[in-house]
Amino acid sequence: MNVRVLRLGLGMIAPFLALLISFGIISLILIAAGDPVGAVWDQILQWPERRNLSNIIDKTTIFYLSGIAVAIGFRMNLFNIGVEGQFLVAALVAAVVGGEAWVSGYLNTALAIIAGMVAGALYAGIAGVLRAYRGVSEVISTIMLNSVAVGLTAFLLRQFKGPQPEGSFIVTTKQLPESSWIPNISIGEGAATEIYGFIYIAVFVGLAYWFLINKTRFGFDLRATGQSMTAAVASGINTKRMIVTAMLLSGGFAGLVGLPYIFGEYHSYGSTFPAGLGFTGIAVALIGRNHPIGVALGAFLFAFLDEQTNALQIVAGVSPEIVKIMQGVILLTVVIAYEVVRRFGVRIEQQMVSRELERARAESTPPPADEKEAAR
Amino acid sequence: MTSTEAPAAPEAPPGDVAVRLRGIGKRFPGVIANDDVNIDVRRGTIHAIVGENGAGKSTLMKILYGVQPPDSGTIEINGTELKLSSPSDAIKAGVGMVFQHFMLADNLTVLENVVLGAEGMHGIGAAARDRIKELSDTYGLDIKPDRLVEELGVGARQRVEILKVLYRGARIVILDEPTAVLVPQEVDELFDNLRELKNEGLSVIFISHKLDEVLSVADEITVIRRGTTVKTVLPKDVTSRQLAELMVGSELPSPSTEASTVTTTVLLSVKDLALPSVDGRPLLEDISFDIHRGEVLGIAGVEGNGQAELVESIMGMRPEATGTVALADIDISTISTQQRRESGIGYIPEDRHRHGLLLDAPLWENRVLGHQTREPQAKYGLIFRGPARKDTQRIIEQYDVRTPGPNVLARALSGGNQQKFIVGREMSGDPILLIAAHPTRGVDVGAQGAIWQHIKNARREGLGVLLISADLDELIGLSDRIEVILRGRLVGTFDPTKVTPEQLGSAMTGAGDEA
């Protein structure tokens, strides 16, 4: 059997198997809690309405960007937990730059997006430099930088706050001029069934990520460093520079995470800006195995569950917080399944190799031939 | 085994036997690590197990210590057959192991290190301290329980490790290559300690591949070759030559070189190379040598005397190194590892798993590793799979790498095939200098012969070769010139056609006169 086909097959089977198992576990949890199992699954697994579908797609877009940002780090064995902080800082910067509207129209959009990415990159770069040149674990530094980001954005929001509507307690930055909004795409009737135009950028990000990681020398160096720092050094890769570059890149993509809201919905950064998206990205990247399509599926799965469980309270009398348990269980089973399948795959491959060895040994006995040559 | 007439040791009576292994077998995918191993270790003796690197000694000891279960065979300890499924089972049965790499916490005292994990035996206070003193006195270990481990030298640390296993009640002590890290005087002290253990009725299993040591300290010697026990002999019946033949087998290809191809063109010129270390004594000092086209320069030395640092300095992996390194008259001392590789250095690293391969990547990606800037597999900053796969296939065929194809993960290959692949990779891209650090370590005999042949071919094609090896026969057989390295300095030059392993050995330990 071809090794590549084998690996692909195993890679596909694992998540579906894991999903089935996790559904079983969740059912058991529901039964133990005395909740109506059937009604819950009915609600979750029904085909979503248009309105819900557009929400699912929007969330998928956002989770996907977050997942890709985390995945870049993972590919190099860097655990960028700081996507959360990076996207907050980036969203604020993008909103401020966009709101100032130094240039007009889509030029302003582009400028704001780039400003956001640069902000995210620099913010992540702090952790990268600390890791590369001071040996500070990026896990620790990015967690701390997350806390800093929450305070920093709250502080900066006050400095850059725009005009506040009468009687509103919500502080926001200046509104983006309408000419710089990214228009939404309609998938049905009315405003509730529109999706963010930012989805195009997300798709482009996915393609860019795939190309960068799989086709370029930079991507090769990144993966090599992630797999074995020592082998990377011996092969001539400047691993310190790779660490910083990878963090910059991860932070740059993280900078995109909050932008669909800014260009497609709120048109400003405010004190009610959604949080927690960076952490979802970690789960999504793990489920998607850092693969551009896998991460998309993982993002869709999480978005789907988020949306479909909203109505659980009304329909089945079950707290929608069950979604967190579901997502957690799915994450665990998927990760375990991947590892089990990986080991299984390695074993099969080793067996194939040893069969090859034995076949070769049976066909000829090369050592004596080698010897004669060597002795000469 | 024609010239080996050493008589086998007589079979021990059953009551006398501390450890009896019968028919032990262990297979890893692609490798037979142990096959039909039979050993009797008598009570109150030092039993040496010798064999080449990769002969299966370590696997066997892991089986005896319960780290890995055997696939077949039985283990008897003091006459009872046991199934050891974890090291704690082995400790319960009175088997203790001192690993080659110490497992001590530097910032704790000897007492704390010893009781760690064995708090239930004598507590962690005065009783434990008394017991440690008692053990230290009984066996002449000379250990003070309240010293910090970080203050101790290598020999003392090893004694702490031995004390740790004795403290846990071991009556059978396994030492895995204990002398590899010691200087000669420490080796003598260690042997005195081992004799003390023996006199107190303990059994010692001593793993080594240094034959002189084995002959001086062991009561019985079992030779392992290619995973199986060849013979058990008494030291008085054998010479070290016979033992070596038992170890490597007479079918071993000889590495002897053909007619000299050394030219007068200097290829690699190293001048005043030094490598400072953070804690005082420099790792390398005053290293100067030339390698000519078509010349193999061998570096002999006891492991840990600066060989690895020398190679890494030449490769540019040690930015703190000083002095000059010139390749074909171009100074390369300030350029990066990658640029050095591009200027024509092929590098077979000492530890292929850590430095040579991406184990979980397919072979074709490993083909690209270290060559990610060079055609045909890379151009314009892009990596091309097609050409990389094709060239991997070429290496597989030319270098006889046994694998179903270039898409197999490197991890799936046996050690010898991994190494042949690395040699093939490093020889592509037309290098002018090949650095080979322990190129045949842990590979099977077939692959060893093939790798030797590749090194000879490289030499014939006019490459310069820097060969680092712990195998003196390999060094003598392949090199045109041998430099001995001791404590980070080159201490002597030898002509391999005239030198004996014994002379090299004494130069390596600093015992002999410099040539």
pLDDT (tens digit per residue) in A239-271? 999 999 999 999 999 999 999 999 988 888 988
pLDDT above 60 (res B499): yes
Q: For residue A309, give both structure tokens.
A: 């469980």
Per DSSP, B383 falls in state E
Question: How confident is the model over A290-315, as a mean pLDDT?
Answer: 90
A contacts of B254 (beta carbons < 8 Å): 374-375
pLDDT above 80 (res A361): no
Closest CB from B340, B358, B373 relative to A231:
B358
| A351 at B interface, C-beta within 8 A | yes
d(CA B508, CA B500): 12
| A365 at B interface, C-beta within 8 A | no
Tokens 């067996």 locate to A351
Per DSSP, B353 falls in state I
Tokens 């092969």 locate to A235
Beta-carbon contacts of B239 under 8 Å, excluding residues fewer than 6 positions away, are none
Average pLDDT, rounded, for chain B: 85
d(CA A75, CA B68): 32
Question: How confident is the model over A279-300, as a mean pLDDT?
Answer: 93
Residues B65 and B89: beta-carbon distance below 8 Å = no
Of the segments A43-47, B33-37, B323-327, which one has the largest average pLDDT value?
B323-327
d(CA A278, CA A65): 9
Cα B513 to the chain's mean position, in Å? Answer: 26
Cα A221 to the chain's mean position, in Å? Answer: 21
| A239 at B interface, C-beta within 8 A | no
d(CA B392, CA B343): 22
Q: Which residue of A has its CA nearest to B341?
A: A236
| Count of CB pairs separated by less than 8 Å, A with B | 146
C-alpha dist (Å) from residue B413 to A74, A348, A353, A358, A365: 26, 12, 7, 13, 19
Confidence of residue A281 (pLDDT cuts 50, 70, 90): very high
Closest CB from B362, B382, B453 relative to A370:
B453
Q: Is the pTM of this model over 0.80?
A: no
Confidence of residue B249 (pLDDT cuts 50, 70, 90): low
d(CA A13, CA B118): 45
**What was the pLDDT predicted at A222?**
94
pLDDT above 70 (res B445): no
A contacts of B336 (beta carbons < 8 Å): 236, 238
**What was the pLDDT predicted at A170?**
81
